[in-house]
Amino acid sequence: MGIMARYVHVGTPELETPGRLYLHTSGLNVFTGRDSSPIKNAALYAREALAQDAEGLKEFMFFIGILWGERSRRIMDLMRYNGFDLEEQKPWQEINPDVNISIITDGVWTPGNLLCEEGLIVLGREGEHRRRTASLEEFIRTPPNLGPLEPKNQEYMGLRLQA
């Protein structure tokens, strides 16, 4: 078990909201394709799923997603963060954001309430990391150390998710 790859999205005109995605090893075979690797296919699925609600994502400051599979279904647990009142003059590190959770299964968005323990560990590390960074930009550009869950292959630790 663990994380196979980490993707970073710094924001683009097509998908303005920045975020980070993780490809979990659970059910990795659902992202296998004839013409490309599971790493690339997972990124393609994520881009398509996020593009469905690119306008809605603008309401949030950033997102964290976990891609995985079950049987033949491609799944993304998507956590969207808001509640950052930057005019409040509260330091970025002290803000306690709200998290909106959705599960996207084969492109269909539904409210979510099911996460695996390793997903919760990743979210905890992300939260600790955010509180040690000075800004959203630094947070997105510098990923947290996931300890034993960290991707084993260095080349999969900082992939770009282009929308």
Q: Summarize pLDDT for 75-103 with one digit per residue, the tens.
A: 999 999 998 776 667 888 888 999 999 99
The CA-atom distances, in angstroms, between 105 and each of 24, 28, 108, 125 are 15, 14, 5, 25
- How far out from the chain centre does Cα 63 lie? 6
Q: Tell me what pLDDT residue 75 has.
A: 95
What is the pTM (predicted TM-score) of this model? 0.91
Q: Tell me what pLDDT residue 17 has.
A: 94
Q: Tell me what pLDDT residue 59 has.
A: 93
Maximum pairwise Cα distance, the chain = 52
Q: Tell me what pLDDT residue 150 has.
A: 92
159: helix, coil or strand?
A: strand
Strand order in the sheet with 3-9: 108-111, 98-105, 73-82, 62-70, 19-24, 3-9, 159-160
Q: How many Cβ atoms sit within 10 Å of the Cβ of residue 32?
A: 12
Low-confidence ranges of the chain (pLDDT < 50): 163
d(CA 63, CA 33): 26
Q: Tell me what pLDDT residue 13 has.
A: 87
Tokens encoding 127: 């939260």
* Closest of 124, 123, 127, 121 to residue 139, by C-alpha: 127
